[in-house]
Amino acid sequence: MMRSTLFFVLMMFVTMIVAAPIRSSSDEDSTEGLTKRGSKSTFSGTGTWFLPATEGGSTGACGPKEGNNSPIVALNSPQYGNMSKKSSWCGKKIRITGPKGSVVATVNDACPECKHGDLDLTPVLFKKVIGDMDIGVGKISWHLA
Ligand SMILES: *[C@@H]1O[C@H](CO)[C@@H](O)[C@H](O)[C@H]1NC(C)=O
């Protein structure tokens, strides 16, 4: 009697371990907003501009080289995830809409000081989406293209 109860408890325990989903915490960070919330999510925040070739070097956090006229953006760090790694956002095409217009750009970098929803744009994109580089900031919304 005692032995079979112990066996039953042991089997329950094994089943629980096997049934538990195996996920690393870094997966959760880097996919935040990308898969968990679904690909149709729209984000909004502040758009700013940066010069990749002179600020932080010309190699984006994602790897590929980028210049001041590249159609790329730096994604805010909360959504990018671990900045010393390639995010699952890397290489994703997004459509960004602002007061001036709408463009499609590729995520190639991370913006450490940006808040959730924010994007740092290259000048070529900033001019098309927000406009005045002297003002330098504007409201944007974006989603996967
Ligand atoms: C980020 O990634 C690096 C390289 O894999 C790792 O050493 C570091 O611990 C990670 N940091 C966090 C906060 O997960």
Please provide the DSSP assignment of 50-104 as one string: --TTTSS-SB-TTSSB--TTSSEEEEEHHHH--TTS--TTTT-EEEEE-SS-EEE
Residue 72 belongs to some domain of the structure: yes
Which residue's alpha carbon is at the smallest distance from atom 3 of ligand 1? 84
Give percent helix, percent strand, percent coil of the chain, each to the nearest 5.
25, 30, 50
Tell which one of 84, 87, 88 to mutate to probe ligand 1, the residue whose CB is within 8 A of the most ligand atoms: 84
Count of domains observed in the chain: 1
Tell which one of 30, 85, 86, 87 to mutate to probe ligand 1, the residue whose CB is within 8 A of the most ligand atoms: 85
Residue 67 belongs to some domain of the structure: yes
Cβ 78 vs Cβ 115: under 8 Å: yes
Number of residues that this document lists for the chain: 145
Distance 115 CA to ligand 1 centre (A): 20
Residue 26 belongs to some domain of the structure: no
Residue 113 belongs to some domain of the structure: yes
- Tens of pLDDT, residue by residue over 83-100, are 999 999 999 999 999 999
82 in ligand 1 pocket by Cβ < 6 Å?
A: yes
Residue 5 belongs to some domain of the structure: no
Residue 128 belongs to some domain of the structure: yes
- Tens of pLDDT, residue by residue over 39-97, are 579 999 999 999 998 765 578 999 999 999 999 999 999 999 999 999 999 999 999 99
CATH of the domain at 62: 2.40.40.10
Looking at the predicted structure, is the pLDDT value of residue 144 above 90? Answer: yes
27 in ligand 1 pocket by Cβ < 6 Å?
A: no
Q: Which domain holds residue 75?
A: 32-144
Residue 70 belongs to some domain of the structure: yes
Looking at the predicted structure, is the pLDDT value of residue 13 above 80? Answer: no
Residue 108 belongs to some domain of the structure: yes
Mean pLDDT lowest among 56-60, 120-124, 132-136:
56-60
pTM for this predicted structure: 0.74
